[in-house]
């Protein structure tokens, strides 16, 4: 899962391992809550030793805080190169936590089992 910032229009980076070694032509995001599709603007792509890196920009109104999106990279022949989920949050990545120190202990039970023979 990749984490992107929701409210900036600067260049953001997604690192990925492609299914095919071809260039990315389109980036499609799908909001999993509302099933709405929109596309990102490809800025650049870098092929590194074991993975590729795509730089893209999004409109500031497209990503909504605390939402999950499905992202699909396609080539010019409409072949799927990569799929992943993207989570949109403005929390700093080095201090990101899903529950923000809100751990809840599981309910306790007596662990009594009845065995029928």
- The full set of domains in the chain, from first to last, is 2-92 (2.60.40.2320)
What is the per-residue pLDDT across 24-76, written as a single tens digit (0 to 9) for each? 999 999 998 888 899 888 999 998 888 999 999 887 678 888 888 999 999 99
Give pLDDT, residue 105.
63
Q: What is the mean pLDDT of the chain?
A: 82
Which two tokens mark 38? 């929109």
Give pLDDT, residue 71.
93
3-state SS record for the chain? CEEECCCCCCCEEEEECCCCCCCCCEEEEEECCCCCEEEEEEEEEEECCCCEEEEEECCCCCCCCCEEEEEEEECCCCCEEEEEEEEECCCCHHHCCCCCCCCCCCCCCCCCCCCCC
Give pLDDT, residue 48.
87
Lowest mean pLDDT among 5-9, 13-17, 44-48, 95-99: 95-99
Work out the pLDDT band at 99, boundaries 50, 70, 90.
Answer: low
Give pLDDT, residue 108.
66
């Amino acid at each position: 899962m990749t984490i992107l910032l929701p409210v900036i229009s600067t260049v953001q980076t997604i690192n990925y391992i492609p299914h095919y070694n071809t260039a990315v032509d389109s980036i499609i995001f799908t909001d999993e809550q509302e099933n709405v599709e929109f596309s990102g603007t490809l800025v650049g792509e870098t092929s590194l030793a074991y993975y590729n890196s795509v730089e893209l920009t999004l409109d500031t109104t497209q990503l909504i805080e605390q939402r999950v999106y499905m992202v699909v990279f396609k080539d010019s022949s409409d072949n799927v190169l990569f799929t992943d989920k993207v989570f949109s949050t403005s929390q700093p990545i080095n201090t990101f936590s899903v529950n923000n120190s809100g751990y809840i202990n599981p309910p306790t039970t007596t662990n009594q089992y009845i065995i029928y023979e």
